Amino acid sequence: MNIPENLIYIDIETVSQCENYSELTQNFKSIWEKKQSKDPQLHDLLPEEAYRQKAAIFAEFGKIVCISLAFYDKSKEEYRMKSFFAYDEKQLLADFADFCAQLKKKYLFCGHNIREFDIPYISRRFLINALPIPPILDFQNKKPWEIEMIDTLQLWKFGDYKNFTSLETLATIFDIPTPKDDIDGSQVGHVYWVEKDLNRIVTYCQHDVIAIIQLLRKLSQKPIVPLDKIKIIPNE
């Protein structure tokens, strides 16, 4: 498989809308409990515990705290990485939209499970925050086969709709060298709400983007990228 040069490798980190279930309005508690009652994985949990464990993965009950992305800069022969992060989600999304508006050519998103998670989640949060969806993300009226993106999970599935394999698992089995993290996805909410250490979450998100770059190369049977060829663009 030839890897297009016009890819934006992307990953997001999300947390629950509130730190605790008790902080929700009565209306939100009601719709959360209805959702929980229809989810076999959450059915036996107390609403407080179900919310703590799973609210972040639903765009209706969570929010984005970091979007990290990378793209290939042919002139420098290196990957450039940038992150958008804030405690104010609306500002984060507005900054990400400004970046999208400045793109000079057509790009395609690439990520792990982005077709079912990252891209729909971002788009839904734009609408919830009353912001216009950037054209590069506006797949609302497109048929599934018209949506152009590269999803490494889909590549690994080989048409198997029953299979889900995490990015961490694939990075391990392909022996992908990535910077080591001191947290995992299950700890993001705690780091955000309790430790209030957004920078640790940003670092974790950036490392996932590096893993996605390398995984796509492994799936395409190409050599991995030296880590010194992936440069972080500092935020202004």
pLDDT of residue 234: 80
The pLDDT tens digits of the residues spanning 218-232 come to 999 999 999 999 999
The pLDDT tens digits of the residues spanning 124-146 come to 999 999 999 999 998 888 887 78
pLDDT of residue 127: 97
CATH architecture, range 7-17+61-232: 2-Layer Sandwich (3.30)
Entry pTM: 0.94
The pLDDT tens digits of the residues spanning 64-91 come to 999 999 999 999 999 999 999 999 999 9
pLDDT of residue 236: 62
Domain boundaries, the chain: 7-17+61-232
Q: Containing H/E element for 35?
A: helix 26-37
User: In percent, how much of the chain has pLDDT > 70?
Assistant: 99
* Neighbour count for residue 8 (Cβ, 10 Å): 20
The pLDDT tens digits of the residues spanning 2-59 come to 899 999 999 999 999 999 999 999 999 999 999 998 888 888 889 999 999 999 999 9
Q: List Cβ<8 Å contacts ≥24 apart for 224-231.
A: 224/176, 224/177, 225/79, 227/177, 227/178, 227/179, 229/77, 229/78, 229/79, 230/70, 230/78, 230/79, 230/81, 231/78, 231/79, 231/80, 231/81
